Structure 1
């Protein structure tokens, strides 16, 4: 069994967990809750990039993405930002749905799984 590496852990959660060559990201949400879906999506994707880098990988190695939206009215605008961010030829499997998020000001939450090197740099 591989060692488990927990990144940015507190008593409740880790922002990322690495085991073997898999990276599991916790839900990423925008810090600026006053932004529209475009701003919040950009911020969330920037946070995903940063977490993946901390785990020694990047978005070209994404395997699965789950996107939760406050409103499906945001679907097209979110997709415009997301589609420009995804590495061509490396699109992960994906699911997207509407949920009641923990803070009503959040418009999007994104959870991801990625492949990573066997050892962190």
Structure 2
């Protein structure tokens, strides 16, 4: 059986779970939800940077990401921030899904899998 480590607890989950050399980051949303899609995307990506660093990894080691957006009409703004954040040589597999509802005021939620 593998050793499972849990990082960054919240009342309902751990933000990062580590198992078999993989890091699984739970749904991450922006704190300041008054910002537009680009602003919320930057906040989420900053959180991902911090969570990965705390677990001993970084964004270059992301292997997959799923982005949930409440308005796919704002996908271009989200993608501009995403592309500026990542090195084109280390882009992960990614899916973007339109959803009708997230946390109140959240325009985006991101789930990430990375390697340690």
CA positional deviation for 1:11: 4.7
Give the aligned partner of residue 44 of structure 1.
44
CA contact (8 A) 1:23 1:113 kept: yes
Distance 1:86 1:103 in 2: 25
Contact 1:6/1:17 (CA < 8 Å) preserved in 2? yes
Q: Which deviates further from its counterpart, 84-93 or 29-38?
A: 84-93
The normalised TM-score by structure 2 is 0.95
Where do residues 9-28 of structure 1 align in structure 2 (5 Å cutoff)?
A: 9-28=9-28
Task: State the 1:48 CA deviation.
Answer: 0.4
What's the RMSD between the two structures over aligned residues? 1.1
TM score, norm. by length of structure 1: 0.91
Cα drift, residue 81 of structure 1: 0.3
SS of aligned partner of 1:89: helix
How many residues are matched? Answer: 116
* Unpaired segments ≥5 residues, structure 1: 117-121
- Unaligned 5+ residue runs, structure 2? none
Q: Displaced runs of 4+ in structure 1, greater than 3 A?
A: none
Structure 2 CA distance for aligned equivalents of residues 51 and 68 of structure 1: 19
